[in-house]
Amino acid sequence: MKPTLLLAVHGTRDPRGTATAHSLALKVAHTTGLPVRLAFADVLTPTVTDTAADLPGPLVVVPAFLTNGHHVRTDIPRQLARAGRADAAVTPGLGDHPALAEAAAHRLHHAGHRPGDAVVMAAVGTRDPRALLELARHARALSHRLRTPVHIGHITTGTPTVPEQVAHLRARGHTRVSIASWLLAPGLFHQRLAAAGADTVAAPLCPHPAVARAVIDRYHSHLPAARS
pLDDT tens-digit map of 77-126: 999 999 999 999 999 999 999 999 999 999 999 999 999 999 999 999 88
Which residues in the chain show pLDDT less than 70?
224-228
Running DSSP on this structure, what letter comes out for residue 195?
G
pLDDT at 226: 59
Q: What is the pTM of this model?
A: 0.92
Cα-based torsion angle of the residue sequence 204, 37, 126, 147 in order, rounded to the nearest 10 degrees: -40
pLDDT at 223: 83
pLDDT at 115: 93
Q: How far is CA 184 from CA 39, 204, 210, in A?
A: 16, 5, 11
* Per-residue b or e along 169-180, where b marks 16 or more CB atoms closer than 10 Å to that residue's CB: beeeebebbbbb
